[in-house]
């Protein structure tokens, strides 16, 4: 805290007893004496103890703590759904618990035991953090801020903001001089821990951008998006002033903003701890050179897990450019059209039910074999019916087992989805051709054994080897050999 070390930003928060305010460890305010502070693992715990967030360092902008491996799978899945708004507006704790296959009592006990707070307290903290950012950084009408941040009514929004921050939303808005003008889009800031290898992740997304759905242009990533009933577009670019990404979101997506933010954090791997990951992986001579060259490398995720799964199926046994073309044809034939201010963006990726309902001949018409078309239909049916949940609620090994039970999906595709679609940091597709070659021509089983020392960051080790392969000038391989 004294050093204001940015590596610890978001990993703990400091409550100052004399002011009743809690801060990030990088806060520029004068450092208080040790006897006047309390330390908290999360912002929500500081708020539960009665502290108000600092108006200088703005704790709601701190990067997350990547809870996937720190807590049990059910708690991690609950946190993921809460981040996407599961307990906002009309969502109930019992509905969330049922979706996770547990009782409400069990979920409350698990979250209190592992996080020190209830699901409702965590949800309230998430809502208020987003609300404050929308109040301070945008000119969105306060009524719309209330619903965009997950409150069921303006009255509850006003009361919660006043209780937490000590002033009404309108007073917070008047204190802002440079908020973004009202219009057809909102601008948000998503922080991360430096370093961040933006060129690497942007290059990955550019090579795989689905025509009509995604595009990379002028150093930014743009795409169409569907969150529940909300449809729109978004753009992401680095913030030149701080370690953060600037996100522009169509106003039509305001009602699904919590889910949009959560999905983007996973897509761009913003909650990673690069210093810890690099220090761990650099111990292996196989990775030392790559880690030194790219200490801020992230594992690119997916905006939508089903989209990632469908893309993985389409990419079986074909090159990356060919897989991109096939995904574009699929979106063009089965995806809903959408109007955007960007000529390159005009389609939404088709939903699982739409693909499940498509005929085999219709799917084969995009240029894939009949067996792969049936695999796509089976995947769409499983997700649409809820027999396959792509939300991180089950153990990765069980997810791999359920995926490989579907016709035409093998271990590589399943592990690839665990890595890209669900953001599992320890996923490792051992049968990947590039990984095996980079590790000295090992077999899949030998590659898995060699990567044991990378745990729990095997996905990052794989990303370093893939990126090194790509930067060496290798031509794009099949999706089954170089994701």
> Which residues carry out catalysis?
23, 432
Q: What is the DSSP string of 301-367?
A: --SSHHHHHHHHHHTTTSBHHHHHHHHHHHHHHHSPB---SSTTB-BPPPPHHHHHHS-HHHHHTTT
For residue 391 the two structure tokens come to: 């939300």
For residue 273 the two structure tokens come to: 């701890």
Which helix (H) or strand (E) segment holds residue 422: the answer is none
Alpha-carbon separation of residue 225 from 253, 368, 398, 447 (angstroms): 8, 25, 29, 37
For residue 363 the two structure tokens come to: 């799917």
Alpha carbon 202 to its chain's center: 15
- Choose among 21, 58, 57: nearest CA to 36: 21
For residue 64 the two structure tokens come to: 């997350």
Check whether the bond before 12 is cis (ω within 30° of 0): no
DSSP state of 12: B
Q: What is the DSSP string of 261-281?
A: HHHHHHHTTTT--HHHHHHHH
Alpha-carbon separation of residue 36 from 16, 20, 32, 304, 428 (angstroms): 6, 10, 7, 44, 46
């Amino acid at each position: 805290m004294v050093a204001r070390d940015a590596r610890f930003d978001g990993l703990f928060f400091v409550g100052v007893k004399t002011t009743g305010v809690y801060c990030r460890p990088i806060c520029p305010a004068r450092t208080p004496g040790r006897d006047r502070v309390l330390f908290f693992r999360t912002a929500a715990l500081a708020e539960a103890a009665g502290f108000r967030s600092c108006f200088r360092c703005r704790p709601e902008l701190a990067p997350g703590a990547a809870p996937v491996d720190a807590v049990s799978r059910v708690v991690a899945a609950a946190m993921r759904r809460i981040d996407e708004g599961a307990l906002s507006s009309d969502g109930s704790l019992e509905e969330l618990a049922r979706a996770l296959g547990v009782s409400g009592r069990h979920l409350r006990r698990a979250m209190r035991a592992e996080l020190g707070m209830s699901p409702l307290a965590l949800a309230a903290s998430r809502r208020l953090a987003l609300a404050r950012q929308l109040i301070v950084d945008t000119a969105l009408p306060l009524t719309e801020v209330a619903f965009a941040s997950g409150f069921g009514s303006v009255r509850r929004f006003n009361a919660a903001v006043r209780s937490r921050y000590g002033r009404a939303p309108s007073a917070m808005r008047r204190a802002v001089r440079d908020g973004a003008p009202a219009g057809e889009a909102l601008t948000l800031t998503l922080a991360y821990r430096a370093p961040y290898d933006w060129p690497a992740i942007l290059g990955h997304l550019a090579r795989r951008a689905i025509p009509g759905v995604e595009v990379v242009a002028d150093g930014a990533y743009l795409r169409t998006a569907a969150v529940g009933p909300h449809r729109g577009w978004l753009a992401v670019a680095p913030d030149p002033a701080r370690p953060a990404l600037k996100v522009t979101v169509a106003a039509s997506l305001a009602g699904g903003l919590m889910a949009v933010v959560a999905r983007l954090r996973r897509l761009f791997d913003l909650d990673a701890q690069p210093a810890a990951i690099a220090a761990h992986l650099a111990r292996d001579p196989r990775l030392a050179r790559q880690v030194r060259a790219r200490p801020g490398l992230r594992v690119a995720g997916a905006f939508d897990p089903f989209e990632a799964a469908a893309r993985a199926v389409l990419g079986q046994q074909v090159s990356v450019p060919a897989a991109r073309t096939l995904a574009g044809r699929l979106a063009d034939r089965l995806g809903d059209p959408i109007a955007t201010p960007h000529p390159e963006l005009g389609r939404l990726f088709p939903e699982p039910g739409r693909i499940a309902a498509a005929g085999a001949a219709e799917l084969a018409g995009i240029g894939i074999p009949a067996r792969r078309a049936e695999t796509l239909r089976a995947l769409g049916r499983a997700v649409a019916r809820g027999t396959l949940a792509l939300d991180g609620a089950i153990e990765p090994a069980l997810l791999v087992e359920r995926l490989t039970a579907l016709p035409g999906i093998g271990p590589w595709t399943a592990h690839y989805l665990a890595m890209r679609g669900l953001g599992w940091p320890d996923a490792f597709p051992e049968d990947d051709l590039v990984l095996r070659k980079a590790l000295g021509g090992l077999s899949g089983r030998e590659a898995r054994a060699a990567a044991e020392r990378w745990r729990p960051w095997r996905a990052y080790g794989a990303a370093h080897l893939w990126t090194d392969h790509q930067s060496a000038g290798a031509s794009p391989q099949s999706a089954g050999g170089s994701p």
